[in-house]
Structure 1
Amino acid sequence: FSYIVLLLAVWYNKTLKGINIIALGIIFNFIVIVTNGGHMPVLLSSLYKSGLNNFALVLKEGTYVTHVLITEKTLFGFLADVIPLSPPFPDPSVVSAGDFLMFYGVFSLIQNAMVKEELNPEA
């Protein structure tokens, strides 16, 4: 449900620079979650590389609500949480290509909002 709300927000702000990149990231994450039963698959080795050993144990138990481990049955695994962000990254985690697109889109959106457009000297 939250992804539908995000897509609606993107649609209503579609004229803003950077919003299309955010939309693509949302769509990538939405695809992998919907095709995997409403769960975001996570690569086990990436959890270990990020130092998230306790989270790996929880996912191995299969009791976590929003995430599951990647298996041979996982669809669109390349869009799942497979990219480890390990120390010295301030908040070690595992992210997806969609997450990176959303991060970049938000950065671009903020940057464009902060920078004034150049005035046309011929006008």
Structure 2
Amino acid sequence: MTVQKEAIEMEEVKKSLFPQSLELKSVAADLANIKIRFGWLIIIAVLVQSVPFALSAPSSFVELKKTLLVLSYVLLLWALSRNLQSWGMRILLMGTLFNFVAIVANGSLMPVSPEARLWAGKPALGESGFGKVLPEGTGILLPIDQTNLWLLTDIIPINTVHAVLSIGDVLIALGLLIFIVAKAMLPHKIDENQMIT
């Protein structure tokens, strides 16, 4: 038997014994090959949004943070709107738009419901914290009756991870999941548009 035949037979034995490992390699390769137009701009927008909040105290540079937050959303919306060829990206864009509208309608920071924050397992801040930037630095504590478009704000408590999400956050996660599943895990078996309809 030639060396080439032995190599082919070994490969067939490997495939029959370890089919999942080959599928995982294929999924990883598919993930690496996902093409997103203006992906670099999406990365910059996310950095512009998160770095200032991460590197400074919540109450410092508030006006600059508000400006950078709005700017990052404008960049995100523009870049995402250039990727509407898939349902996942459309849903992701809708979630981003919902968050942007809620932020702009409430003074350029995302309002967080005190009740939802409490239900998520975060410490109570009391009424003296109303209208102030949260210790996490990414939103503002506002009761629902003082919040514009409250349905779009952070009102969904997730106790297991001590987080409060918005409808926009849920749509962003759903859109990202649909996009990744369609592009990476099922590229040849199912079209992403078939997943929705």
What range is the shorter-chain TM-score in? 0.7 to 0.9
Matched residue, 2:150: 77
Matched length: 115
Partners of 2:172 and 2:92 lie apart in 1 by 4
Partners of 2:163 and 2:95 lie apart in 1 by 17
Shift of 1:80: 0.6
Question: Alignment partner for residue 93 of structure 2, among 18, 23, 32?
Answer: 23
Aligned identity (percent) is: 31
Shift of 1:27: 0.8
Shift of 1:62: 4.3
Question: Alignment partner for residue 98 of structure 1, among 148, 151, 168?
Answer: 168
Partners of 1:70 and 1:23 lie apart in 2 by 25
Shift of 1:2: 0.7
User: Do the aligned partners of 2:97 and 2:168 also contact (CA within 8 Å) in 1?
Assistant: yes
User: Tell me, which stretches of 5 or more residues in structure 2 are unaligned?
Assistant: 1-70, 191-197
User: Tell me, which stretches of 5 or more residues in structure 1 are unaligned?
Assistant: none
Partners of 2:81 and 2:106 lie apart in 1 by 25
1:1-123 correspondence runs (5 A): 1-53=71-123, 56=125, 60=129, 62-64=131-133, 66-71=138-143, 72-87=145-160, 91-114=161-184, 115-118=186-189
Q: Which has the higher contact order (CA 8 A, sep 6+)?
A: 1
User: Do the aligned partners of 2:131 and 2:142 also contact (CA within 8 Å) in 1?
Assistant: no
User: Do the aligned partners of 1:18 and 1:106 also contact (CA within 8 Å) in 2?
Assistant: yes
Partners of 1:79 and 1:85 lie apart in 2 by 16
User: Do the aligned partners of 2:157 and 2:164 also contact (CA within 8 Å) in 1?
Assistant: yes
Q: Deviations over 1:49-106 (max 9, x none)?
A: 111116x46x81644264222332311001110000002xxx3200000000000000
Partners of 1:95 and 1:66 lie apart in 2 by 12
Partners of 2:90 and 2:121 lie apart in 1 by 33
CA RMSD of aligned residues (A): 2.3
When Rg is computed on C-alpha atoms for both structures, the one with the higher figure is 2
SS at match of 2:164: strand
